[in-house]
Amino acid sequence: MNTKNCLLLSGALACLLPLPAMATRSTEGVSPNPGTFPEKVTRSVVSVDTLADLAPVLANTSEQAEAEVTEANFLDYPMAQVTPVWQLRDIQPTDWSFQALQSLVKRYGVIVGYPDGTFQGDRPLTRYEFAAALNSVLDAIDQLIESGSETIPTQEDLATLERLGTEFSAELAETQRQIESLEVRTKTLEQKQFSPKVKLGGQVILGVSTAAGGEPPGRGEIETVLSHLTLIQLSSSLVDPKRDKLQVGFVAGNFDDRGFANPQALNTNMTLLSYQADTDNQFELSSLEYRFAVSDRLVFTFKPVGFSLNSVLNSNSPYQSARDGALSRFAGASPIFKIGSLDAGGGLDFLLTNRARLQVAYGVRNGNSSDGGLFSADHRALGVQLLATPANNLRTGIAYVNAFARNGRLDTFTGSNNADISGGFNEPATIHAVNGTLAWRVTPKITLGAWGGVTLTDSLPSDALVLSTTYLFSLGISDLFGRKGDLLAVMVGQPPRLRAGLNIVRADEGSSMHYEAFYRFRVSNRVSITPGFFIVTDPGHISENNNIFVGSIRTGFSF
């Protein structure tokens, strides 16, 4: 039995030892085929329109359909009301009014606020949240009376409602005023909308970026760059606006020649930005997606253009948005979800319980080419993830990816080139990857995050075998200095590193680290300005390489 079989049968990593380096490399080196780098940035660009108005299961689906999440609301269930509970906790569960309204809600089957049909009876409420719930109960009882239903409110219940209405008259009046204002705005928007059945939206990201260091791995020919990324998205429904959604996206950008990753500049994928793309300022089709809910718990996704595993698998990261999230490609989400550089696929999202969901995604590269096929493509991947919310302020996920690559490459374009090409053995291989994620809102304004992944690339025709790892820790502090919507984020992690291998030229001898920080200023609901930077030590996991600094000021507009 050879060493490789010993490893696979025993499940132990002790058999997998790093090979001695044949030669010290002073440069990182980009992919032997730089042209294969995907300029499809839509996987990291937040969608213009969320799917929260579909079935409940759609509300927290995945990043390609994400809302503009922040550290403050990232772990929340969507609510019909807008005021976060933690802002003004002046209605306690022990109050008579709280218990009275809760009894009315249950007795008359009124759905209030949350997906489980309650206003979370074990949590304090603001007076405006309470008034919104009370207003829903009043409306429901009015409808019962007008319809002549057999379920008639008792005199005792009517007296309770009268007392509640008197005590919360000011809040009810304000709630009604807001409803009327929303109705007027909705009518105005409907009159001015792009099309009765098609919604038009988009976003523009402008960035001023510069870099220093990194000579080697690159030649250090660096210039300050002014770039843009523009996304236009059309969305519509084919059957029922509450059950399905068709989205078409177009993208244009001018960050050419791979940006700072160009060999003349810094020569490593570790410097790629989250919002860079090169289309020579021409709009190109970047995303074509159709989602539909077959029930309140099951949603299917088909995406023949712009697909990646995290089109279905939720990366559990609030930093994936190209407009408001991490500045670097690496720190936005785990590279495990980028394996294969896929472009066409689909999957399902199944809500097992109110706190657990199962997600399955399958995709291929060149799926629209005559050379590719659904199950015979040269690059394909299947991903399965269990996402759980054990507590209201905690979300965890565990994912497994099984992929095939004709040349054995991972093609995540986030870590060392050596890790991305799996040591360069260039043979058909099966890829096994496991990834774990965690997001924990410690307080209403502080969120801790972490993810880590392990990848095993197993050559089919030979004994070549490669083990790669990656991880990241993050800290987010929102609403600093009393500015609602602002966010300070700090991230520390290690881009994919080839730890050990069999029958390869070398493992990564160095230990590169990624340090990133940014501060997002919220100018308005549609405009944000984000200055930030990231530092990469020992680029390419080669200790002889010089450290790299990349700084950027990013401005995001949505419409």
Q: How far apart are CA 234 and CA 33, in angstroms?
A: 33
| Residues 516/522/523/528 CA torsion (nearest 10 deg) | 40
Cα three-residue angle 451-454-459, rounded to 5 degrees: 155
Phi, psi of 281 (to 5 degrees): 65, 15
338: tokens are: 């980028």
Q: How far apart are CA 71 and CA 86, in angstroms?
A: 14
Residue-level pLDDT, tens digit, the chain, 559 residues: 443 434 333 333 333 333 333 333 446 764 433 334 443 433 333 332 223 223 332 333 333 333 333 444 445 433 223 333 233 335 666 677 777 777 777 777 665 555 555 555 556 667 777 777 777 777 777 777 777 666 677 788 788 878 887 887 877 787 778 777 777 777 776 666 656 688 899 999 999 999 999 999 999 999 999 999 999 999 999 988 888 999 999 999 999 889 999 999 999 999 999 999 999 999 999 999 999 999 889 999 999 999 999 999 999 999 999 999 999 999 999 999 999 999 999 999 999 998 999 999 999 998 766 455 677 889 999 999 999 999 989 999 999 999 999 999 999 999 999 999 999 999 999 999 999 999 999 999 999 999 999 999 999 999 999 999 999 999 999 999 989 999 999 999 999 999 999 999 999 999 999 999 999 999 998 999 999 999 999 999 999 999 999 999 999 999 8
Q: How far apart are CA 555 and CA 559, in angstroms?
A: 14
Q: How far apart are CA 207 and CA 324, in angstroms?
A: 12
**Please, which residues have CB within 8 angstroms of residue 251's CB and are 6 or more apart in sequence?**
41, 42, 45, 229, 230, 231, 232, 277, 279, 283, 284, 286, 287
Burial class (CB in 10 A: 0-12, 13-18, 19+), 334: buried
Longest dimension (CA), the chain: 89
Q: How far apart are CA 478 and CA 169, in angstroms?
A: 33
**E-state strands within 110-256:** 198-213, 225-236, 244-253
336: tokens are: 């495990």
170: tokens are: 């000011």
